[in-house]
Amino acid sequence: MKFIRHFSFRRWRGLAGAGLAGLLLGAAACRREAEAPAPEHFPAPTPYALVQPPLFPAIPAPPADNPLTVEGVELGRHLFYEKALSLDNSTSCGSCHQQARAFTDGRARAQGVGGALHARSAMALQNLVWEPKLTWDGASPSLEQQARTPIENAVEMHQPLRAGVARLQQMAPYPPLFGKAFGTSTITEENALKALAQFERTLISSNSRYDRYRRGDRSLLSADEVRGLQLFSIHPNGTLRGGNCSDCHGGELQTDHNFRNNGLDAAFADLGLSSQTGRPTDNGKFRVPSLRNVALTAPYMHDGRLATLQDVLDHYNEHVAFNSPTIDPLLLNTTNDPLQQRHDLELTAQEKTQIIAFLRTLTDSTFILDPRFSAPR
Amino acid sequence: MNTSRFAAVAAALVLATALVTACKKDSDPSTPQTGVFALELEPGVGALPLNLSTDTYTTAAGDRFTVSAFKYFLSNIKLTKADGSAYAVPDSYFLVDQAKPDSQHLDLKDVPVGDYTGLTFTVGVDSARTKAGNFTGALAADPGMFWDWSQEFKNVVLEGTSPQSPSRGLVFHIAGFKGANGANNTIRTVSPAFPANTKLLIRPDHSPEIHLHVDVLGLFGGPNPVRFATVYNTMGGPQSVKVADNIAAGMFSVEHIHAN
């Protein structure tokens, strides 16, 4: 049935082209036959220019087949907050990725349709345009590819995207939104994923107090926060004291885009990176997340086991599982012990407090209030 | 850009002239011709291939180790001729990362044609460029290769494990250039020799390759042999300087040159 309709439509198009001359000759009777869907004419979408934040690495170009457009991003925003993409109309991307929490959900482990519990914590969505690999285990090399996973995953939105797209086709706002973004009001899975990826690429956080400090306003951080920043950066050597956070959380994006075992466990309930690569040497390695807005993204770690920033500092300072088989060498060899003999980091309580004070300067209130990223009304 | 286009046009004209007149005269010396070459970096541990994390190796002194990360900057590439003249490739900064195969192949362009007999480069990022700031390209590619707090690059990074290490970990961050009178300078410039009677022939219609063997054992052997029981964790400073001297002495060697 479907095939026949498709075939006849193609034939109609061919005939319409061939018969154009005949129509022009004034065969008025033919007009009635041309009542099949009129060809769509949407104006070309408007390019959307991301603003390069000062000091940040250059914004990578989007995929050649999915340039950012104003209309595509706007459609993506609608889809991001669209609950019809979930099995029971209960859940959207925005349910677990809430703007006020830097697009996390405040839960240890994400909760999907029907209260299903995900094995991992919802990651913050920010500065993704710079991320070469997405999710905790690097499963997806592109936002377009990644977007399908939470929509279809049984413990997340739990509905085939094919079914979601069929729903959207019947919802009044969507055919024209897709038409404006992609030139056709026939909704496809591919275009839905492209629009979601476009919206996600616009989620740039670059205006925290720390950013403004970095750009030159030295009055913006207190003495404790500045000391926290120093401790965050410094690799201790017995003379210089430091927390050595930035060996992994370095640069303006505060991630080296790597996957590392940070010593949470000696045995792994979740294999992390090796579930993608199959290599035992990748067991227990997870993505190094950016620490931007980290004060908003509790609880912490891939399974949300650490409730507060204090817990995180305590972990790195005194609870690292040094016998973890794939533990990162940087954790084995980072201590403030003047003799450089001990394993533990050996920060003082005050130093931990100062590092946490610095981490709080990474909160970007303009990002979490930006109406461009909020649910459409 | 215009120069190279002009050079290409000029080259074509010269060729056409040669075809028509069978003239054997050299091309106009006022329009220097250029060519390309590539540096192919071939990392290994002695004679063994370097496989991150999976393989265990042994140093000359008998210490066993694995490597989870191996990265270094290679910069200031210079070619020399037998007459002592040299061509420095402008703005040549590369970050070579064992985890990124693409980074092991360096393309150098717009090199004046000639017969070159030597190669010199810096292992690391020179202090002048470091002090100038405003990093782009390879220098901005990996925040983990820069110490924000001291504004110095890690010139060579090796991380891994060793049963001989008291902590089990190996962290070699051969970084920095500061200290009194540059006492902690870990930037080294090397000139690995070409094989005997071998030249790098830069021509407009050739793309020769220099294959460099990059030996991880070079960090741990040489003038200052490293035993992991005592040296397993160095991040700049005197111990890193000793490792830098090892690197200068023997991490790089020219395996062969393809004329192509």
What is the model's pLDDT at position B260? Answer: 79
Residue type for position A229: L
**Domains and their CATH numbers in chain A:** 70-204 (1.10.760.10), 209-367 (1.10.760.10)
Contact yes or no for B169 and A333 at CB 8 A: yes
Contact B155, B125 (CB under 8 A): yes
Query: Residues of B with CB below 8 A from A260's CB?
Result: none
Contact yes or no for A235 and B140 at CB 8 A: no
What is the model's pLDDT at position A35? Answer: 56
Contact yes or no for A246 and B173 at CB 8 A: no
- Listed as ranges, residues in chain A with pLDDT below 70 are 1-38
Contact B157, B233 (CB under 8 A): no
Tokens matching residue A77:
């925003």
- What is the pTM for the complete model shown? 0.85
Contact B249, B191 (CB under 8 A): no
Contact A101, A297 (CB under 8 A): yes
Indicate the pairing of strand A286-287 with strand A259-260: antiparallel
Contact A309, A275 (CB under 8 A): no
What is the model's pLDDT at position B200? Answer: 97
Contact yes or no for B143 and A281 at CB 8 A: no
ipTM: 0.80
Phi/psi at B188 (nearest 5 deg)? Answer: -130, 145
Phi/psi at A280 (nearest 5 deg)? Answer: -60, -30
- Give the chain A residue whose CA is nearest to the CA of B65: A329
Contact yes or no for B144 and A330 at CB 8 A: no
Q: How far is B95 from chain A (nearest CA, A)?
A: 14
Please report, in tens digits, the pLDDT of each residue of chain B (260 residues total): 444 555 555 555 444 444 444 444 455 556 679 999 999 999 999 999 999 999 999 999 999 999 999 999 999 999 999 999 999 999 999 999 999 999 999 999 999 999 999 999 999 999 999 999 989 899 998 888 999 888 999 999 999 999 999 999 999 999 999 988 889 999 999 999 999 999 999 999 999 999 999 999 999 999 999 999 999 999 999 999 999 999 999 999 999 999 87
Distance between CA atoms of residues B107 and B115, nearest Å: 18
What is the model's pLDDT at position A25? Answer: 42
For residue B114, the cross-strand partners are B202
What is the model's pLDDT at position B15? Answer: 47
Q: How far is B121 from chain A (nearest CA, A)?
A: 26
Q: Is A251 on the interface with B (CB under 8 A)?
A: yes
Q: Is A238 on the interface with B (CB under 8 A)?
A: no
Distance between CA atoms of residues A79 and B2, nearest Å: 48
Distance between CA atoms of residues A171 and B59, nearest Å: 67
Contact yes or no for A329 and B171 at CB 8 A: yes
Cβ atoms within 10 Å of A173's Cβ, excluding its own: 12
Q: What is the mean pLDDT of chain A?
A: 91
Point out the residue among B142, B144, B233 whose CB comes nearest to the CB of A333: B233
What is the model's pLDDT at position B6? Answer: 53
Q: Domain locations in chain B?
A: 1-31, 33-258
Query: Residues of B with CB below 8 A from A282's CB?
Result: 53
Residues of B with CB under 8 A from a CB of A: 52-54, 68, 136, 140-144, 146-149, 159-161, 165-171, 173, 232-233, 235-237
Contact yes or no for A329 and B169 at CB 8 A: yes
What is the model's pLDDT at position A342? Answer: 86
Q: How far is B136 from chain A (nearest CA, A)?
A: 8
Within 8 A by CB and 6+ apart from B180, the residues are: none
Distance between CA atoms of residues B178 and B236, nearest Å: 9
Cα A273 to Cα A74, A282, A288, B198, B212, distances in angstroms: 33, 6, 11, 45, 32
Task: Tell me the H-state helices in chain B.
Answer: 2-21, 127-132, 217-220, 238-250
